[in-house]
Amino acid sequence: GRATKMLERNVPSVLRPAKGMDLKIKRGFCSKSQEGSKQKPEIGGHSTYKVPGHKPSDWEKKVLLWSGRFKKVDDIPETISFELLDAARNKLRVKISYLMIALTVLGCIVMVIEGKRAVGRHESLTTQNMERKARWREDVAHSASAKP
């Protein structure tokens, strides 16, 4: 009684509990009341807690088709789970990565073949640069001689 009144005077008003409020410490994690743990009753035979569904957009439907999860657009349900969509996206990412790896290897092979052909024609970057610099020198010489 008297000690709490003395403490209330020293505590700022923001930290003081409202009048009529219980000062007992509630330990929500240590002891649970039976009333709070009861679930809501089922309504119409269905649980009130449902996994949220997601209505896929046209692009997401294409992702589901390309990932191989569904064969036709008509097979896709109206609502799908987020996990299903994430799995389809991940599968599509892996397929695209494999495609990019294959195209990179193919591009490297094509460049090696083209490089060997250029060597056969006696073309190299050094000769191309020397020819380009020779042309520039000729252009500079012509422009210098054309000026009076």
> Has residue 7 got a pLDDT over 70?
no
- Give 69's contacts (C-beta < 8 A, 6+ positions apart): 84, 87, 88, 91
Average pLDDT over residues 106-132: 92
Query: Can you tell me whether residue 41 is helix, strand or coil?
Result: coil
- In the prediction, which pLDDT does 116 show? 93
pLDDT tens track for 59-91: 989 888 988 888 888 888 888 888 888 999 999
Q: What percent of the chain has pLDDT over 70?
A: 65
DSSP 2-29: HHHHHHHHHS-TTTSPPTT---SPP-TT
